[in-house]
C-alpha cells in the first residue's frame, strides 16, 4: 500500500513503522486469485495502530481506486483464524524477518 500510494521513497520506512509491529500480511480472497473485484482484502498480523492503518488505507484507496478492507489480528487471534484462512484464497505478501 505504501509503495502504491506514496511511491518508494526514503520516508516509506517511517510510514510503515508508524503502523506498528507487523509479523505477517496476507492478501486474501478475490485479489489473491487474481480477480479485480474492486475490493482488496488484507489480513495483517501483529500490533497494528488502527488510526494510522485507516489513514493509510483511505489515502491508498483514492490512489488505486479500490476499496481496502483490513483485518488486524494478534498472533493468538491469527493462530485461531489460520485454519479458516487455509480454506480461502490467500497469498502472503510480507513476513517479518526472524
The predicted structure's pLDDT at residue 4: 45
Cell of 92: 502472503
Residue 57: which domain range?
A: 2-95
Residue that wins the pLDDT comparison between 8 and 18: 18
We report the CATH number of the domain holding residue 91 as: 3.30.460
| Distance between CA atoms of residues 22 and 89, nearest Å | 21
Structurally, the chain folds into a number of domains equal to 1
Summarised one tens digit per residue, pLDDT across range 53-85 is 999 999 999 999 999 999 999 999 999 999 999
Residue range 12-54, pLDDT digits in tens? 566 667 888 889 999 999 999 999 999 999 999 999 999 999 9
Regarding pTM above 0.75, the answer is yes
Residue 86 half-sphere exposure, CB side, CA atoms within 13 Å? 6
Amino acid at each position: 500500500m505504501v509503495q502504491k500510494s506514496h511511491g518508494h521513497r526514503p520516508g516509506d520506512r517511517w510510514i510503515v513503522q508508524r503502523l506498528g509491529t507487523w509479523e505477517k500480511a496476507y492478501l486474501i480472497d478475490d485479489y489473491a486469485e487474481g480477480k479485480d473485484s474492486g475490493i482488496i482484502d488484507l489480513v495483517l498480523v501483529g500490533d497494528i495502530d488502527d488510526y494510522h492503518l485507516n489513514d493509510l488505507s483511505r489515502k491508498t484507496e483514492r490512489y488505486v481506486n479500490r476499496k481496502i478492507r483490513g483485518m488486524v489480528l494478534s498472533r493468538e487471534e491469527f493462530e485461531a483464524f489460520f485454519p479458516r484462512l487455509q480454506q480461502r484464497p490467500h497469498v502472503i505478501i510480507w513476513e517479518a524477518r526472524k
